[in-house]
Amino acid sequence: MNLNKEMVLKIIDNALREDIGTGDITTQAVIDQDQEMTADILAKEDGIIVGLDVAFWVFEYLDSSVEFRPLVKEGERVARGTVIAKVSGLTTSILTGERLALNFLQRMSGIATQTAYYRSLVKDYDVRIVDTRKTTPGLRILEKWAVKLGGGANHRFGLYDAVMIKDNHIRAVEGIQEAVKRARQNIPHTMKIEVETESLADVKEALAAKADIIMLDNMSFEMMEEAVRLIANKAIVEASGGITAENIIEVAKTGIDVISLGTLTHSIKSLDISLNF
């Protein structure tokens, strides 16, 4: 995926409407309209910086005359105390855009930093760390971009770009094989089919249905190992559910191909970043 500016500008427009409303009362009341200043954007803890373009687009959207100068690269790891960018221009424009620009930078950098941490835990194993659809509504493109810059990979973007047959689909049509059969009849031949499984019986049924990807959902390590043995490279194997920093190495040891983690986007700590004149 790429960071589509047109999509991001729609997010920025909505966010600025929410934040500014009828106007930045404090800034308008306190600051001279023609005053100009320069501000440093500072990383207050170690981490991976993502969202510099988005922060720039916030200021650009408010005032095209604002100058935004990144001092580090997108996706670069920095130490606490690093000045990551400088912003120059009308003081009113900088103050009005400050909070939103920082919100994006902090959250995206937090996601990238957490992704890099999980990736480092399994660096010795041939396994991919991927995200899920458990993202903040309306911010998916930003959060998935941050995962990618943190060294992870992206799962499907939405319901429209991949087939993923989950437990409720299976219950609704009374079986994995029937669900896969219906999917194959109604999708292009170029599209893969993923099936979520909860037991070894499910795995065997998904294999019989010739699923392209088999997800092992909330399985024990022992069950995962047996599932990998049963699948025997006939499908890509994904593990999901209940995976934490404490057990991810044991999951990787089972021989699965992909680990999907909702925690990359739904349970992150934003990186501490500030803007100072």
Question: Residues within the annotated binding site for substrate?
Answer: 99, 132-134, 156, 166, 196, 217, 240-242, 261-263
> Is 192 one of the annotated active-site residues of the chain?
no
Q: Which of 77, 86, 99, 253 is catalytic?
A: 99
Q: What is the DSSP letter of 153?
A: B
Active site residue: 80, 166, 181, 210, which one?
Answer: 166
Active-site annotation holder among 196, 202, 205, 238: 196
Could you tell me the CA-to-CA distances from 267 to 69, 107, 169 in Å, in that order? 30, 11, 27
Is 134 labeled as catalytic in the residue annotation?
A: yes
Report how far residue 240's alpha carbon sits from residue 195's, in angstroms, rounded to the nearest whole number: 12
- What is the chain's length? 277
Residue among 24, 131, 217, 238 flagged as catalytic: 217
166 tagged catalytic: yes
Q: Is 178 a catalytic residue?
A: no
In the set 77, 86, 134, 204, the catalytic residue is 134
What distance in Å separates the CA atoms of residue 201 and residue 153, rounded to the nearest whole number? 29
CA 224-230-233 angle, to 5 degrees, is 95
Q: List the beta bridge partners of residue 70.
A: 85
**Spatial distance between the Cα atoms of 252 and 272, rounded to a whole number of angstroms:** 31
Residue 8: helix, strand or coil by DSSP?
Answer: helix
234 contacts 207 by C-beta, under 8 angstroms:
yes
Nearest to 213 by CA among 241, 192, 229, 199: 192
Contact 181/210 with Cβ under 8 angstroms?
A: no
Q: Which two tokens stand for residue 200?
A: 């070894």
Maximum separation of any 2 CA atoms in the chain, in Å: 72
DSSP 7: H
Asked if 210 is an active-site residue, the reply is: no
Binding-site residue set: 99, 132-134, 156, 166, 196, 217, 240-242, 261-263
The residues annotated with a catalytic role in the active site are: 99, 134, 166, 196, 217
